[in-house]
Structure formats: structure tokens, C-alpha cells
Amino acid sequence: MDLGLGGKRAIVTGGSRGIGLAIARGLASEGVDVVLAARGVEALELAAKTLSQGTGRRVLGVPTDTGDDNSVRALVQRTVDELGGVDILVNAAATPWSAGKPSDFASTTDDVVRGELEIKVLGYLRTARAVAPHLVEQGWGRIINISGLGARQANSIAQTVRNVGVSALTKNLADELGPHGINVTVVHPGLTRTERLVDRLAAQSEAEGVPVAELESRLATNSIHRLIDASEVADVVTFLASPRSVGITGDAVAVGGGAPGAVYY
């Protein structure tokens, strides 16, 4: 199927590694020129060079702090100046929720919640706010927000609030921007095989003498009984970024291999 993405231009925040980089690779493989945005300059430059060489597309790395509105606006302006415009925004810049973060009621301080909202919800809002005028002017665009299945689980107040917040932001943007030809969706990955997880499991395997495959199997509590790879999340996002996805907006798409027993509608 031709997704109709050839010649489009995309910004992927959090694009230097993990799910963000996998998404950027998926888009570039379909003929999209991509701007990667992240804070780490060295990782960003390496990712942009490797991706450009591997796909033949133009890939730029732009150091960006999505917690700073001026930095976000500079990112969008550079994209427009160098690529001639922007068609797709993928928001994936957020610190992963991991073991060790406060999760119980007593330890969930104002600052813990405020930090999560600043990074994920407000960061996504800033980039959407800067990109949207360009999409409205051309009458077409796609915004895909990467959230997480933490939106559907009450494991932690801060984790749930930040992911539900992204979903709420998505629906509001979809309703307002839809008449202008812009679709906005939210994708909920579950536990996903990324470089970070691979490194963690390799260290655990060495420490415990347990094969990585067995450790992955223990973690795969989803319906298909295996971990989803970052590239498989990217496949879904690439479709949502395309003109073929016109019938989907304002909705959440879970990419976690299925949640056993739960019914979502």
C-alpha cells in the first residue's frame, strides 16, 4: 500500500533514541524528510547522520528543550526555513516512566506531578501550538502524540495523570483542528523493546545468569505474550501520519500487544 507520504516533512521530538527514533526511521523509509528534536546534542547528531545514510532522506538534528517555548518556536522556524514547511508533528519527547519514581499517594508531591505535566503535557502543547498555524495555512497535517498505557492503569497518580492529560489534549486539538484538514491522534505504547530496555535486560541477564529471551518472556504479560518492538509502534504511527488515516482523529490507538481481560470501547 502506498501511504502517500513521499515528500512530506516531519518533526519528531524525542527523536534521538527509542520509540521516537524508530518513528523517524519509519517515516523516512516512506519518503519523509525529518527533523529530529532532542536535548542531547551528541546523540542527536549521530541519529540524524545514521538515519539519513540509511534512508537517503534529508534528516536534520535540532537541539531542542520542549520545556522552553522559545526553543520550541526556534525548532519549528528552522524546520520551515530548511525544509520549506512542515506537514507532520510527532510528539515523543518525555522521560520514560520507570521503576524508582514515586508511585504511592503519600510520596506523590506537587512537584512530582508538576514535573510530569511540564515535560509531557505542556511540552506537547507547546510544539502543537507552534506547528499548528503552518498546518492550518496549508489545509493539511497530522499530529500524533505518544502517550502510554499508563493512561489506562491506576499504578501511579503522576503516571496516569500525565498520560490521561495527553489524551485530553489530543481530543481537544482534534476537534478544533479537524475542519482545517488536520488529524490528531494519541498512541499508547505498552512496555516496548527499545535501546534502554535492551541494555537493562542485558545487564540483568549477566547479573542473574538468565537468558534475555526468558527475561522478556516474564515481562510479556500482554495478549500476544511477547514484547512489542519500537519498530512496530513506528509502523502504526507512520500510518497515522499518512493521508490514508483520514478516518481516524481524536482517538487513542493502543500498541501494547493487547491488555488481557479488559474491554475498551
Q: Give me the CATH number covering residue 79.
A: 3.40.50.720
pLDDT at 184 (0 to 100):
98
Q: How many other CB atoms are there within 10 angstroms of residue 20's CB atom?
A: 28
Residue 261 domain-assigned? no
pLDDT at 250 (0 to 100):
97
Together in a domain, 138 and 215: no
Does the pLDDT value for residue 156 go beyond 90? no
Together in a domain, 216 and 138: no
Residue 1 domain-assigned? no
Least confident of 81-95, 102-116, 238-252: 102-116
Together in a domain, 133 and 247: yes
Together in a domain, 130 and 215: no
Residue 4 domain-assigned? no
Together in a domain, 204 and 155: no
10-19 pLDDT, tens digit per residue, is 999 999 999 9
Residue 2 domain-assigned? no
Rounded to an integer, the average pLDDT of 223-228 is 96
Residue 265 domain-assigned? no
pLDDT at 145 (0 to 100):
98
Rounded to an integer, the average pLDDT of 166-176 is 98
Residue 258 domain-assigned? no
Together in a domain, 163 and 150: yes
Q: Which domain holds residue 176?
A: 9-191+229-253
Residue 104 or residue 193, greater confidence: 193
90-115 pLDDT, tens digit per residue, is 999 987 766 567 778 888 899 988 98
What total of structural domains would you count in the chain? 2
Least confident of 51-55, 99-103, 245-249: 99-103
Together in a domain, 161 and 243: yes
Q: What percent of the chain has pLDDT over 90?
A: 85
Residue 221: pLDDT band (50, 70, 90) is: very high
User: Rounded mean pLDDT of the chain?
Assistant: 94
pLDDT at 34 (0 to 100):
98
Residue 99 domain-assigned? yes
Together in a domain, 205 and 236: no
pLDDT at 4 (0 to 100):
96
Q: Give the C-alpha separation, 42 to 23, whole Å.
A: 19
pLDDT at 97 (0 to 100):
66
Together in a domain, 93 and 17: yes
Together in a domain, 89 and 212: no
Together in a domain, 26 and 152: yes
pTM for this one?
Answer: 0.94
Together in a domain, 198 and 105: no
Residue 259 domain-assigned? no
pLDDT at 150 (0 to 100):
86
